[in-house]
Amino acid sequence: MKNESGKSAKLWQALLVFGLLIGIMAVAIIIYETDPHIPMFLGVVIVSVAALLMGYKWAEIEKFMMEGITQALQSIIILTIIGILIGVWIVAGVVPSMISYGLGIISPAIFLPTALIISSITSLATGTSWGTAGTMGIALMGIAAGLGIPAPITAGAVISGAYFGDKMSPLSDTTNLAPAMAGTDVFTHVKFMALPTISTYAISLVFFFVSGRQYASGTTDLIAIKEIQAGIASAFTVSPLLLLPPIIVIVAIALKVPAIPGIVLGIISAALLGPIFQGASLGDLMSAGMSGYVSETGIVAIDKLLSSGGLENMMYSVSLTIIAMMFGGIAEKTGMLNVLLSVILKRVKSAVGLVSATIAAALFSNVTMPEQYISIVIPGRMFRQAYTDKNLHPKTLSNALESSGTVLSALIPWNTCGVFMATALGVSTFEYAPYAIFNYMMPVMVILLAFLGPTLSYMTVEQRAQLEETGTV
């Protein structure tokens, strides 16, 4: 297949490049347990060499890299601002207040749905499924043991809640990465995900409520929860007024305020409340915004959860995004993505089929390139033009990407997410997977609603003109 420069990308070249990338990623992550950055960079080297052999000049290849990175610049900017926001929200007491109030709703009689809700609140507040499982998840697993509730089903509730927040929180890196790959903004993305996500969450809530009734006779003194609440109260002033910053961000989403100003409003409101409730100085706020907050309460669960945020700590996601987009830019501009896509799309005749193929591609990426971010980046780059050709709004693609790439990662035993969850919660992936209802029901719900219509959105003439003007289609 010929690309825009007229040079021909053959199927065997694309298969070789992607095959080598998959092999390198699998060996590096599964065997050597390294981060995906350097393996992904080796993929950039491989695709660059392939492009040179195809006849491209280095200046062209470098331009392809830059164009790829440019496509993700909004996501990169938002990620850096979110890092600042998380640090400021913690030092101002916003995140501690959200967690403390979330813990206050626990009840032994409805422990499983409560575990789901607490994990959801925590992950919505922090934007991280790993942080939620590694802190609140551990505490909830301990309480479950005292109640006689099996570990696998408890882990399923924790993971379901953790990935609900990871998927819907504007603080989550994947929630920002998916719309960047698709060509839309984070607020449009979150609003469009609401129906399928809340529907799946409701099914999960009912499942854990019904399943948990058989354990309603258990009792516990909830020492672990009380210890965490007391630890938060000793380090922060907890107040319902500190819930205003997340409310402001939510209202901004509803009012269609652009992502960057909306997030900055969340930072400013928390920065104003921090000195009032926590006695935080301007220096404290600026330090937390740059380097994050370091909790020193002496309570391991609290210190692990609240030692977070800061622009510096977002560089992991930012750097991976840049490297992945270098690879994607070259693979796209040389026609390698297109030649693979043409093979896949030969069997896709409908919009529903396209959504299903996107979900399948994200799952394949999670299995073969076991890293959550890559399962969003590569399918996003591969399918973006196909959605435009069918006049589907980019939010249709971003929804499919996050409803598969983000949530399915925890169900793959050798995926970085699956490994982390199993290690943190002390339950193997195979044991908790049947109970991670939200995770495996999410892509099913998206495909079902695509068939019925709600998760398919076609562009109006005005929307398409606007996207063409901004260069996203």
- Cα(106)–Cα(118) distance, integer angstroms: 8
CA 86, distance to chain mean position in Å, is 15
> Which structure tokens are listed for 54?
């195809």
Above 70 in pLDDT, residue 472? no
Q: What was the pLDDT predicted at 153?
A: 96
358 confidence band (pLDDT: 50, 70, 90):
very high
Look at 44-53, 77-86, 153-162, 398-407 and tell me which has the smallest mean pLDDT: 77-86
Strands (E) in 146-271, as ranges, are none
Q: What is the pLDDT of residues 277-309, one digit of tens each?
A: 999 999 999 999 999 999 888 887 778 778 878
The more confidently predicted of residues 346 and 399 is 399
Residue 473: its pLDDT value, please? 56
Query: Is the pLDDT confidence value at 329 over 90?
Result: no
Is the confidence at residue 219, as pLDDT, over 60? no
- Yes or no: say if 407 and 167 are a contact pair by the CB < 8 Å rule: yes
Residue 238 is predicted with a pLDDT of 94
Tokens for 374, please give them: 């890559």
| Pick from 125, 123, 122, 127: nearest CA to 171 | 127
More confident residue, 75 or 166: 166
Helix (H) or strand (E) holding 145: helix 138-147
Reported pTM: 0.71
Q: Who has greater pLDDT, 325 or 243?
A: 243
Averaged pLDDT, 108-129: 87
- Predicted pLDDT of residue 221: 52
pLDDT at 206: 96
Decide if pLDDT at 54 tops 60: yes
Q: Residue 471: CB partners within 8 Å, gap ≥ 6? A: none
Residue-level pLDDT at 25: 81
Contact yes or no for 302/122 (Cβ under 8 A): no
Q: How many helices (H) and strands (E) does the chain have?
A: 25, 0
Q: At residue 327, does pLDDT exceed 90? A: no
Q: What residues have CB less than 8 Å from 77, skipping those under 6 apart?
A: 260
Please tell me the predicted confidence (pLDDT) of residue 438. 97
Is there a contact between 268 and 85 (Cβ–Cβ < 8 Å)? no
Q: Quick check: 229 pLDDT over 70?
A: yes
Q: What is the pLDDT of residue 307?
A: 85
Q: How confident is the model at residue 248 (pLDDT cuts 50, 70, 90)?
A: confident
Residue 392: beta bridge partners? 458
Answer with the residue of higher pLDDT: 240 or 382. 240
Choose among 156, 447, 100, 147: nearest CA to 302.
Answer: 100
pLDDT, tens digit, 9 for 90 and up, residues 25-37? 888 877 887 888 8
pLDDT at 249: 81
- CB-based burial label for 12 (10 Å; 0-12, 13-18, 19+): exposed
Give bridge partners of residue 348 from the DSSP assignment. Answer: none
pLDDT-derived band at 5 (thresholds 50, 70, 90) equals low
Q: What is the pLDDT of residue 120?
A: 93
pLDDT tier at 392, thresholds 50, 70, 90? very high
Structure confidence at residue 3 as a pLDDT band (50, 70, 90) = low
Mean pLDDT of 389-417: 91
Cβ neighbours of 49 (radius 10 Å): 12
Q: Given this model, what pLDDT does residue 21 score?
A: 86
Counting residues of the chain whose pLDDT is more than 70, the rounded percentage is 93
Which of 60-74, 207-221, 254-268, 386-400 is predicted with the least confidence, judged by mean pLDDT? Answer: 207-221
Per-residue confidence band for 419, with pLDDT thresholds at 50, 70 and 90: confident
Tokens linked to 182: 């698709």
The CA distances from residue 235 to 97, 278, 281, 302, 370, in Å, are: 11, 9, 15, 10, 38
What residue ranges do the domains of the chain occupy?
74-314
Report residue 461's pLDDT band, with 50, 70 and 90 as the boundaries. confident
Least confident interval from 136-140, 367-371, 378-382 = 367-371
Best CA proximity match to 14, nearest among 404, 356, 342: 342
